[in-house]
Amino acid sequence: MKMYLRRAAAQVAQMMEFPPIFVILVATVLLVVLIATASQGRRFNSSAQNRICQDCGTAHPHYANFCRRCGRRL
């Protein structure tokens, strides 16, 4: 029984040998997918974050009500 298991394990190991280029390709694809999914939460629309004054064109944070430069209501 032990000999049979060793032989079966050796056959499985032979079947699972992959060329190095295949392993590198799979690792690269997994890394790209991981980076793409991890960065999804960090994307933001800068135009939604900033409010632009209609008079002077100064950018302000989304919570600002008045322009810092000219005082106009945003």
One pLDDT digit (tens) per residue for the chain, 74 residues: 677 777 776 776 666 777 889 889 999 999 999 988 887 766 555 556 788 899 998 999 988 999 999 999 98
Cα 74 to the chain's mean position, in Å? 34
Query: How much is the pLDDT for 32?
Result: 94
Write out the two tokens for 69.
């430069």
Query: How much is the pLDDT for 45?
Result: 58
Domain map of the chain by residue range?
A: 48-74
For tokens 């919570």, the residue is 63
- Taking the C-alpha atoms of residue 33 and residue 44, their distance in angstroms, rounded to an integer, is 19
Query: How much is the pLDDT for 7?
Result: 77
